[in-house]
Amino acid sequence: MYLVDKDPSRAVSMFWAAINVGDQVNSALKDMAVVMKQFDRMRQLRRSNLFVIYALIILRSLLTMFLSNFTKGLGKL
């Protein structure tokens, strides 16, 4: 499992290697399903992390604009 975590694209070749050395097809398919499920979770996590980073950047920009306008308004008093 560690090798696939490092290089998920190797999952298919490892699947066929397992079949070729005599692993049962249903066992190899179950292993492949587990790997693909974990790979999908990693992709979803990356997407959600990118969304959070993007949202934080936007919030920072909005807060900066708000504070700038607020301090300009205080100067007029």
Predicted pLDDT at 1 = 47
Task: Report the alpha-carbon distance of residue 29 to residue 38 in Å, rounded.
Answer: 14
pLDDT at residue 72 above 80?
A: yes
pLDDT digits (tens, 9 = 90+) for 12-51: 777 778 778 877 777 777 777 777 777 777 778 778 888 8
Cβ contacts of 41 within 8 Å, gap of 6 or more: none
pLDDT at residue 3 above 60?
A: no
pTM metric for this prediction = 0.43
Residue range 46-72: average pLDDT? Answer: 85
Alpha helices in the chain (DSSP H): 2-6, 11-20, 25-75
Structure tokens at 19: 């079949």
Predicted pLDDT at 14 = 75
